[in-house]
Amino acid sequence: MKILAIDYGKKRTGIAETDDLQLIASPLTTVDTSRLWDFLKKYLEENRVETLVVGEPLREDGTYNEIEKDIRAFLKRFAKAYPHIRIEREDERFTSKMAVRAMVEGGVPKKKRRNKALTDKVSAALILQDYLNRRG
């Protein structure tokens, strides 16, 4: 079974997944948040998912970013629609900066790094990798 992670945003949501052995986090895609439910329905029909990891948008001082209200509404709906999938949260502070740094170090050209959709799915993969590292 896989673990799926999302970096939820007002406009776009980055999505990452593990392999079936849950060893490697990989960027999957970015979807318009307005189409997230369509994507999840199709993905969850085609893949066995054990856990959904959702980024927790904390500020440096530990308070929540304003998007948290939207995320909580999403999580409530998700839990109702997919009660068999465990939901976990993972601190997402600095993941966008880390995503850009990883792309620079990986040799991704500057023009591609400006693509926010690429940053969002790499951020989701970093959230997922942090979760995998934390759970050991």
CA max distance for the chain: 42
The one-digit pLDDT tens for each residue of the chain (136 residues) are 999 999 999 999 999 999 999 999 999 999 999 999 999 999 999 999 999 999 988 777 878 888 999 999 999 999 999 999 999 999 876 666 666 666 667 776 776 656 676 778 888 998 999 899 888 6
Domain boundaries, the chain: 2-135
- CATH number assigned to the domain with residue range 2-135, chosen from the 4 options 3.40.50.2000, 3.30.420.40, 3.30.420.140, 3.40.50.1970: 3.30.420.140
- Helix (H) or strand (E) segment spanning residue 96: helix 95-105
Query: What is the signed CA dihedral for 22, 33, 59, 136, rounded to 10 degrees?
Result: 0
Predicted TM-score of the model (pTM)? 0.85
CA distance 70 to 8: 9
